[in-house]
Amino acid sequence: MNTSHIRHGSLAAGLLAGTLLTGCAGTPARNAQLDQARSDYAAANNDPQVTRAAPEQLRLASANLSEATALQQQKAPQADVDHYARLATTQVVTARQLTEADASQAYVKQAGSQRSQMMLQASQQQTQRAQNQAATANARADNADAQAASAGAQADQAQQQNAALLTALNAKQTDRGMVLTLGSVLFDSNDASLNASGERSLDKLGQFLRDNPKRNVRVEGYTDSTGSAAYNRDLSQRRADAVRSALVDGGLDAQRATTKGLGQDFAVASNQTASGRQQNRRVEVVISDADGTFPATR
Amino acid sequence: MKMRPIASIGTAAAALSAILLLAGCSGQPPKADDSLVRAKTAIDQATLAGAGQYAPMDLNNAQSQLQAANTAQASGDYKQARYQAEDAEVDAQLALARTQAGKSAEAARQVQQGNQALQNQVDSSNPPQP
């Protein structure tokens, strides 16, 4: 605002003039413009929002009201009284506009801090959501890890058991798979049936096959070169069948074992010596891989 | 005259009472060019602030009254000139205040809309609890 006013001068002047000029008139008539101005001013002045937001305008209005009042008492021309009353009225309206501006600015300030609060809340929500997602993902990962570890442990355990059993069975790893050799001492001569030692050997194999239900066996019979090839094939087949029967009698599902008689082929020792011939008289039980397949076949 | 600073309040009181004494029941104030200057300044200030957009009627009133004040001054009617200049000045100040109120209200509306949008976003991420 670029106007200021005489605070005390006009009041003093009015009073002084009033006392000197009382001879001019009796009681002043009412001035509607002045009454309105007084009423407007009083209302604004009683409003704490207005007195806080626009004190300067209210002071200006008040001073103009005083001037108008003084002029009224002096029976000055009504146009003069009207003028100052109108100035006061306009200044009260200005005071109210300034109060509006003040209120809006206060709102903007308050809304600004509200906005900050909501931004904080929104970002906290985002963080919380991200944390929840991460926690869920972590839990799933942990679960998967646990399952994998458990499966791994089971696999290790199975492998250890197999290794132990295979050692106990005295089986050897070949390109055909694990091979358990049942020697000729387990058979009576020229006979296809297993003796007591042979049956004991098969007990361990039977246990292994019970513990590893996915494994299968191929039972292959062999002979030395004594006799004809046809005779030897037949003999070797009958020995292989005898071993298979013994396994099935021990509880093995018949579908898990096949037999083959290979006769005097695939000799493992020289047929010129007695001990060599003894070694060639044998049954080999080929044990499949853990999933039941055979890597190679004869 | 309630709108300009005066060096000595006592002098003013003496001057005014002397004038009223001499003039009888009506007053004849002196030439007051500065009221015209102050009115012009107030109108310029309001115009600069954007009163043409936010308070066109008040600004227009002020401008018309200043024009009339200048005319009265030129034809020697000094009291009329001063009164009209004073009217112009208070109207220009009203125009300025109304402009400030209008701009602040706009700012408040924008912030309120922004906050509402933000609140909606927060609410939509937080489904209501059953």
CB pairs under 8 A between A and B: 154
Asked whether the beta carbons of residue A98 and residue B100 sit closer than 8 angstroms, the reply is yes
By Cβ distance, the residue of B101, B122, B126 closest to A101 is B101
H helix and E strand count, chain A:
8, 5
Task: Name chain A contacts of B13, Cβ cutoff 8 Å.
Answer: 8-10, 12-13, 16
Residue A28 CB-density burial (10 A; 0-12 exposed, 13-18 middle, 19+ buried): middle
- On whether the CB atoms of residues A190 and A267 are closer than 8 A, the answer is no
Residue of B nearest to A74 (CA): B25
- On whether the CB atoms of residues B87 and B80 are closer than 8 A, the answer is no
- Give me the residues of B, 74-113, that contact A with CB < 8 A: 83, 86-87, 89-91, 93-94, 97-98, 100-101, 103-105, 107-108, 111-112
pLDDT score for B123? 82
Residue of A nearest to B34 (CA): A3
Domain boundaries defined on chain B? 31-123
Asked whether the beta carbons of residue B26 and residue A10 sit closer than 8 angstroms, the reply is no
Domain boundaries defined on chain A? 9-157, 170-287
A125, two tokens:
């929500």
User: Which 8-state DSSP code applies to residue A255?
Assistant: G
Amino acid at residue number A116: S
The helix or strand, by DSSP H or E, that contains position A172, with its residue range, turns out to be: strand A171-174
Asked whether the beta carbons of residue B16 and residue A17 sit closer than 8 angstroms, the reply is yes
A58, two tokens:
């209210």
ipTM of the complex: 0.74
- On whether the CB atoms of residues A264 and A225 are closer than 8 A, the answer is yes
pLDDT score for B28? 54
Amino acid at residue number B112: Q
Within 10 A of B77 (CB to CB), how many other CB atoms are there? 14
B96, two tokens:
């300025």
Percent of chain B having pLDDT more than 70? 71
Tell me the β-bridge partners of A179: A172, A286
The owner of tokens 């290794």 is A163
By Cβ distance, the residue of A13, A105, A118 closest to B16 is A13
Residue of B nearest to A76 (CA): B26
Task: Name chain B contacts of A121, Cβ cutoff 8 Å.
Answer: 122
By Cβ distance, the residue of B13, B105, B115 closest to A104 is B105
- On whether the CB atoms of residues B6 and A6 are closer than 8 A, the answer is yes
Task: Name chain A contacts of B2, Cβ cutoff 8 Å.
Answer: 3, 5-6, 10, 60, 63-64, 67, 84, 87
Flag the least confident range among A179-183, B58-62, B73-77. A179-183
Q: Is the pLDDT of residue B127 over 80?
A: no
Q: Which residues contact B68 (CB under 8 A, 6 or more apart)?
A: B84
Per-residue pLDDT of chain A (298 residues; tens, 9 = 90+): 545 555 555 555 555 555 554 445 555 678 999 999 999 999 999 999 999 999 999 999 999 999 999 999 999 999 999 999 999 999 999 999 999 999 999 999 998 888 888 888 888 888 888 898 989 989 898 998 989 888 888 888 877 766 776 777 778 888 888 898 888 766 665 677 777 777 787 888 898 899 889 999 999 999 999 889 999 999 999 989 989 999 999 899 999 999 999 999 999 999 999 889 888 989 999 999 888 888 887 8
By Cβ distance, the residue of B2, B98, B114 closest to A5 is B2
* CATH no., domain A170-287: 3.30.1330.60
pLDDT: is A37 or B19 the higher one?
A: A37
User: Which 8-state DSSP code applies to residue A187?
Assistant: B
Model confidence at B25, pLDDT cuts 50, 70, 90, reads: very low
pLDDT score for B121? 81
Find the mean pLDDT for residues B3-8: 55
Residue of B nearest to A61 (CA): B2
Per residue in B38-50, pLDDT (tens digit) is: 999 999 999 999 9
Model confidence at B36, pLDDT cuts 50, 70, 90, reads: very high
Q: Whole-angstrom Cα distance, residue A133 to residue A120? A: 20
CATH architecture of B31-123: Up-down Bundle (1.20)
- On whether the CB atoms of residues A41 and A65 are closer than 8 A, the answer is yes
- On whether the CB atoms of residues A44 and A65 are closer than 8 A, the answer is no
pLDDT score for B23? 45
Residue of B nearest to A96 (CA): B97
Nearest to A288 by CA among A226, A217, A230, A239: A217
